[in-house]
Amino acid sequence: MTHRVIAVVDKQKDVTAIWHVQTSPDAPSASGILSGAWLLGDGEVDPARHDDLTAGTHVIHTGSDGLELIHAAIKEQLAEYQAAAKAAKKKNPQLTLPRFDAPEPTDVGQLAEAYHGAPEGRLAWAYATAAAELVEAWHTIEAQRRSRKYLQEAFGATTRPLPVGG
């Protein structure tokens, strides 16, 4: 199971902004879930580094449905967890079901308004921040799932990678 980094890519006329989002529950807290940002273009980072910065990542392009696909995949996986929990409760009525909460969609435009940095990085940062919120919601769901032995038996004892959809 690989916890792939999400690379948010915002291709603009003269520059491409790339922002990395860590999805591993073991990512170092010192650097945070938003772990790197680059502006590729004239006077910035060499545009040839684009492939290096996105290699092995799950790429989300700004303006795409990448965030919605992750959100839908989380909700789909959550439904599987809830169905398994209900089936276990049916077999053993004394079980306490976990309270799973699906993440709410994030308003990327509202996030962009809160950005304070190089203007070329604004949209990539907003998408990366929204992705980070989905990652954090997923880790909360996984912690709740892993706290129930019957769900560990069904889905594993370790934190599963973020379902990225698509």
Angle at CA of residue 24, ends 20 and 27, nearest 5° = 75
Give domain status of residue 119, yes or no: yes
What pTM was estimated for this model as a whole? 0.93
Tens-place pLDDT, residues 51-109: 999 999 999 999 999 999 999 999 999 999 999 999 999 999 999 999 899 999 899 99
Cα separation, 125 vs 40, in Å, equals: 15
Give domain status of residue 164, yes or no: no
Give domain status of residue 130, yes or no: yes
Count up the domains in the chain and report the number.
1
Tens-place pLDDT, residues 46-66: 999 999 999 999 999 999 999
Give domain status of residue 70, yes or no: yes
Give the amino acid at 110. Answer: Q
Torsional class of 105: left (φ above 0), alpha (ψ -120 to 50), beta (otherwise): beta
Instruction: Give which of 93, 36, 10, 140 is closest to 85, Cα–Cα.
Output: 93
Give domain status of residue 116, yes or no: yes
CA distances in angstroms from 24 to 2, 35, 58, 128, listed in the order given: 8, 12, 13, 15
| Residue ranges making up the domain that contains 22 | 6-155
Give domain status of residue 161, yes or no: no
Average pLDDT score over the chain = 93
Give domain status of residue 138, yes or no: yes
Judged by average pLDDT, the poorest of 20-29, 60-69, 73-82, 125-134 is: 20-29
Give domain status of residue 163, yes or no: no
